[in-house]
Amino acid sequence: MKHYIGIAGTNAKHSTNRQLIQYMSHHYADSATITLADIAGWPLFYKTPDHTVPAAATTLAEQIQAADGVIIATPEYDHAVPAVLSSALAWLSYYIHPFAGKPVMILGASYGALGTSRAQAQLRQILTSPELDARILPSGEFLLGHSLKAFTDQGELTDAKAVAHLDELMANFAIFADINAQLTNSLRAIHKGAQA
Amino acid sequence: MKIVAIAGSIAEASYNRQLVAYIASHFAELADIQPLSIQDVPVFDEDLDIADYPAVQALADQIEAADGVILATPEHNHTLAPAMKNVIEWLSNQVHPFANKPTLIVGASYYTQGSSRAQLSLRQILEAPGVGALVMPSDEFLLADVQTAFDAQGNLSDPGTQKFLGTVMGKFVQWVNVLAAMKPTPDAPAWQAEDLTASHPTDTTIPVPMDADDWVEQGAAKTHAASGHDYVQLDRGLLTVDQLNWFLNTFPLEATYMDENNQFVYYNHFRDHDDMLAPRYPAQVGDAAAMCHPKRAQDHVKQVLHMLRSGKTDRFAMPVPGNQVNAKWIMHYYQAMHDGDQHYRGVNEWVLDIWPIVADYLKQTGQQLVPVPGAKVDAVSGASQSATAPAKPDADTGASAASEPPAAPAKPAPDADTGASAK
């Protein structure tokens, strides 16, 4: 049983990205626990002179640290990730590094047809920066377009193909998390050997 | 040229803010460059209303009013600083001040990259449809190793960097100018094309100076015009010129002929100027429309002429200001004239007081007029279907003098005196 943190990159009251994480936590309850993290209400990132971060960021950092991986569902604003998400990631890499070496799966939902393709590419770029240094699931994208019509009233995804695709990605993500753990362990061993 | 410049940082100290300050002071002769603060912009939330955040609205207004924008972006985690993205989200949701705004990206960073990836992200964001900025292509100003880039006076210490920034700024000013020149001007309303100077002669135009007092006599000589006892064949009849005059001069109305070149070529001269409802002098005949209408009325004249020429309507009617209910009700009627091929050939304008006719009718039929209870009456435009703009009486000419043309030519408020009256 894997344990993941799910981040919907939004502070909007109604968000189909949050809905997507909620769907996953329910749909994959047999194979994983997915805890939905809330980044609404965090202050906008700035470089605090004393290097402190908001308490909410510290808490989430600890949860991420303890998790097997992170699932981020990003909206797309102006061909990019919302500021509220990039700001949260900035806090989560300011003198704390919970994402370093952490498996991350990127997905996203949008009202239009494209399903956040550009925001996902940018998020990938952000997560590879040295201060975040996440391990992003390399292949397979999940782009949920027309997201306002994608869910039933009960919060189920209506498109069976999308469900099958997401099932596959989730299975891959679990394998990726295991391989990454091995990689991290062997890297650690190499570093130790080099130091010895 | 007015430029606003924003550093994408809300940190207490910011090298990008320093860069903006340097640009503003160093290139003051090139343009008026005003740094804007984003310190008071809250976290964007699509559920919030910009109207509740005056600091954000002010920022939008300042960008809107500027000719161009300079954005200085820090780089954070391989992308632009959240604070800068946050501002752009506010300014691409309910308001769109960046739309079609010439924009220059610059940036400073601690190490070698000089914000290269942040600038690419910012460019992509600025070009998104909701933002719509016109980002200057080609030159990138990437200020690396920023901690050592400025001297104690806040100037860029490297002469090469200084010079390059000067080149970039010069190009940006050019970019602003080029885009300003390309800005589409809204299509002028079609009625503005009406030429009141009558400089498009038609097949009936006589080559005589239009402003000549004896335009009629000169023209008659030039055209060997029929006169007196000469017969003219009409549809349907045959009259001498004398007979035609007796006939036209006894209609109970003042008639004016404005041809399709907007030249005033005839009126039925049976009253003296001072006795006329729409006063004309004999010497005015031949004048271009522009010469017989006061300037303030000319837009209205154009609107009416255009309506008639374009066939939007064949007749336009309006009462003059100063009419008195149940005593005197002078109407101007403008009727489009067409030839056998349905080509527009000018305006037949007639002016008459309809009250005696109405009064006579009431007398003959033993009736009285009663007001409709609650009816909204506009004493000026009540009798006209289309003249809805208020007109003010004009002491000099008796003409309507609404000083502003109405927004839509579909609802013109012409000068009451679209015939000829300025002298």
CB atoms within 10 A of CB A71: 29
Q: Provide the strand spans (E) within B246-383.
A: 254-259, 264-267, 315-319, 330-338, 344-353
Rounded CA-CA distance B249/B259 in Å is: 20
Contacts of B349 (CB under 8 A, 6+ apart): B255, B256, B257, B258, B332, B333, B334, B335, B418, B419
User: What are residue B86's phi and psi, to 5 degrees?
Assistant: -60, -45
- Convert B234-267 to b/e letters by CB count within 10 Å (16 or more is b): eeeeeeeeeeebeeeeeeeebbbbbbbbbbbbbb
pLDDT for position B185: 67
Q: Is the pLDDT of residue A92 over 60?
A: yes
Question: What residue in B sits closest to A132 (Cα-Cα)?
Answer: B77
Contacts of B343 (CB under 8 A, 6+ apart): B260
- Decide if A44 and B86 are in contact by the 8 Å CB cutoff: yes
Strand partners, B352: B331
Provide, as residue numbers in chain B, all residues whose Cβ is less than 8 Å from the Cβ of A44: 10, 42-43, 82-83, 86
ipTM of the complex as predicted = 0.88
- Decide if B11 and A77 are in contact by the 8 Å CB cutoff: no
Phi-psi region of B228 (alpha: psi -120 to 50; beta: other; left: phi over 0): left
Between strands B254-259 and A135-136, the pairing is unpaired
pLDDT for position A41: 95
- Convert B156-172 to b/e letters by CB count within 10 Å (16 or more is b): beeeeeeeebeebbeeb
Rounded CA-CA distance B89/B386 in Å is: 46
pLDDT, one tens digit per residue, over B44-76 is 999 999 999 999 999 999 999 999 999 999 999
Question: What residue in A sits closest to B9 (Cα-Cα)?
Answer: A46
- Helices and strands in chain B, H and E counts: 9, 15
Structure confidence at residue A196 as a pLDDT band (50, 70, 90): low
Single-letter amino acid code for the residue at A153: D
Which one of A13, A49, A80 has the shortest CB-CB distance to B12?
A: A49
Q: What mean pLDDT is predicted for residues B172-199?
A: 86
Both tokens assigned to A184: 């991290």
Lowest mean pLDDT among A24-28, B7-11, B112-116, B326-330: B112-116
C-alpha distances out from residue B241 to B245, B246, B280, Å? 6, 9, 22
Rounded CA-CA distance A17/A7 in Å is: 9
Asked if B383 and B329 count as a contact pair (C-beta separation under 8 A), the reply is yes
- Decide if A46 and B79 are in contact by the 8 Å CB cutoff: no
Q: What is the helix, strand, coil percentage profile of chain B, to 5?
A: 30, 20, 50
Question: What residue in B sits closest to A129 (Cα-Cα)?
Answer: B77
Chain B 120-139, CB below 8 Å of chain A: which residues? 121, 124-125, 127-128, 130-131
Q: Which domains does chain B have, with CATH numbers?
A: 2-182 (3.40.50.360), 191-365 (3.30.450.20)
pLDDT, one tens digit per residue, over A97-116 is 999 999 999 999 999 999 99
Q: Which of B79, B84, B120, B135 to mutate to test the interface with A (most CBs of A within 10 A)?
A: B79
Q: What mean pLDDT is predicted for residues B178-185?
A: 80
Q: Is the pLDDT of residue B97 over 70?
A: yes
Which one of A86, A122, A132 has the shortest CB-CB distance to B82?
A: A86
Q: Is the pLDDT of residue B117 over 50?
A: yes
pLDDT for position A75: 97
CA angle A89, B118, A40 (to 5 degrees): 25
Question: What residue in A sits closest to B86 (Cα-Cα)?
Answer: A83
Among residues B171, B219, B198, the alpha carbon closest in space to that of B70 is found at B171
Find the farthest-apart pair of alpha carbons in chain B and give their distance in angstroms, rounded.
Answer: 102
Q: Which of B9, B38, B40, B77 to mutate to test the interface with A (most CBs of A within 10 A)?
A: B77
Which one of A11, A126, A128 has the shortest CB-CB distance to B43?
A: A11
Q: What mean pLDDT is predicted for residues A128-142?
A: 93
Between strands B134-135 and B75-76, the pairing is unpaired
List the CATH number of the domain containing A134. 3.40.50.360
pLDDT, one tens digit per residue, over B229-255 is 999 999 999 999 999 999 999 999 999
Q: What mean pLDDT is predicted for residues B33-53?
A: 95
DSSP class of residue B91? T
Report DSSP letters for B47-73, one per residue: TS-GGG-HHHHHHHHHHHHSSEEEEE-
Which one of A49, A84, A125 has the shortest CB-CB distance to B44?
A: A84
User: What are residue B358's phi and psi, to 5 degrees?
Assistant: -65, -45
pLDDT, one tens digit per residue, over B367-378 is 999 988 888 765
Rounded to the nearest integer, the mean pLDDT of chain A is 94
pLDDT, one tens digit per residue, over B131-146 is 999 999 988 899 989 8
Where do we find the tokens 């006939």? B247
Rounded CA-CA distance A112/B249 in Å is: 73
pLDDT, one tens digit per residue, over A14-71 is 999 999 999 999 999 999 999 999 999 999 999 999 999 999 999 999 999 999 999 9
pLDDT for position B304: 94
Cis geometry, peptide bond prior to residue B280 (ω within 30 degrees of 0): no
User: What are residue B227's phi and psi, to 5 degrees?
Assistant: -155, 170
CA distance A160 to chain B (A): 31
Contacts of B178 (CB under 8 A, 6+ apart): none
Question: What residue in A sits closest to B46 (Cα-Cα)?
Answer: A12
Rounded CA-CA distance B107/A172 in Å is: 39
Specify the number of domains making up chain A. 1
Q: What mean pLDDT is predicted for residues B76-102?
A: 96
Both tokens assigned to A120: 């996902």
Provide, as residue numbers in chain A, all residues whose Cβ is less than 8 Å from the Cβ of B130: 77-78
Provide, as residue numbers in chain A, all residues whose Cβ is less than 8 Å from the Cβ of B46: 12
Long-range CB contacts (within 8 A, 24+) of B155-160: B155/B22, B155/B26, B156/B22
Structure confidence at residue B190 as a pLDDT band (50, 70, 90): confident
pLDDT for position A149: 94
Asked if B113 and B142 count as a contact pair (C-beta separation under 8 A), the reply is yes
pLDDT for position B149: 92
Asked if A73 and A181 count as a contact pair (C-beta separation under 8 A), the reply is no
Rounded CA-CA distance A2/A134 in Å is: 18
Q: Which of A79, A81, A132 to mutate to test the interface with B (most CBs of B within 10 A)?
A: A79
Range of A55's domain?
Answer: 2-195
According to the 3-state scheme, what is the secondary structure of A51-119? CCCCHHHHHHHHHHHHCCEEEEECCCECCECCHHHHHHHHHCCCCCCCCCCCEEEEEEECCCCCCCHHH
- Convert B290-317 to b/e letters by CB count within 10 Å (16 or more is b): bbbbbebbbbbbbbbbbbbbeebbeebe
Between strands B330-338 and B315-319, the pairing is antiparallel
Structure confidence at residue B402 as a pLDDT band (50, 70, 90): very low
Question: What residue in B sits closest to A49 (Cα-Cα)?
Answer: B12
Contacts of A190 (CB under 8 A, 6+ apart): none
Provide, as residue numbers in chain B, all residues whose Cβ is less than 8 Å from the Cβ of A80: 79, 85, 121, 124-125, 128
- Decide if B121 and A78 are in contact by the 8 Å CB cutoff: no
Structure confidence at residue A95 as a pLDDT band (50, 70, 90): very high
Q: Which of B15, B38, B78 to mutate to test the interface with A (most CBs of A within 10 A)?
A: B78
Rounded to the nearest integer, the mean pLDDT of chain B is 87
pLDDT, one tens digit per residue, over B271-316 is 999 999 999 999 999 999 999 888 888 999 999 999 999 998 999 9
Rounded CA-CA distance B370/B380 in Å is: 19
DSSP class of residue B246? H
Rounded CA-CA distance A16/A12 in Å is: 10
Lowest mean pLDDT among B338-342, B362-366, B378-382, B389-393: B389-393
Which one of B43, B77, B125 has the shortest CB-CB distance to A129?
A: B77
pLDDT for position B139: 84
- Decide if B127 and A132 are in contact by the 8 Å CB cutoff: no
CA distance B42 to chain A (A): 8
Among residues A7, A2, A4, A1, the alpha carbon closest in space to that of A123 is found at A7
pLDDT for position B180: 87
Where do we find the tokens 């006719």? B357
Measured between CB atoms, does B9 come within 8 Å of chain A? yes
Both tokens assigned to B354: 């309809």
